[in-house]
Amino acid sequence: MCVDYAGQDVMIYPCHGSMGNQHWVYEHQSGLIRHGPSHKCLGLETRDKLVMEHCDGSKDTQRWRFQNFNETAASSILSE
């Protein structure tokens, strides 16, 4: 399953492998998760509701940290 955003609600949807609505870029330094097509960022509205917002790195609700993130491996994937 993948996180999908088509302009309304953020939802979990079967992965289709075509990027598009399921294309996300994690910016490790800022902690932002940016949606490729819309350029909006994934935020947390409440403990159980994800929302899309204009990116603002100063908002705690938009900063994400992954416990098992390999920045070197992610950088090599992005440069391919």
Q: How many domains does the chain have?
A: 1
| CA angle (71 as vertex; 70, 76 as ends), nearest 5 | 105
**For 6-64, how does the pLDDT look when each residue is reduced to its tens digit (9 = 90+)?**
998 999 999 988 888 999 998 888 999 999 999 999 999 988 899 999 999 999 999 99
- DSSP string across 31-71: TEEEETTT--EEEEEETTEEEEE---TT-GGG----TT--H
Flag whether 78 is in a domain: no
Flag whether 51 is in a domain: yes
The whole-model pTM stands at 0.82
Per-residue pLDDT band for 80 (boundaries 50, 70, 90) equals very low
Flag whether 19 is in a domain: no
Contacts of 78 (CB under 8 A, 6+ apart): 25
Domain, as residue range, for 68: 24-73
Flag whether 58 is in a domain: yes
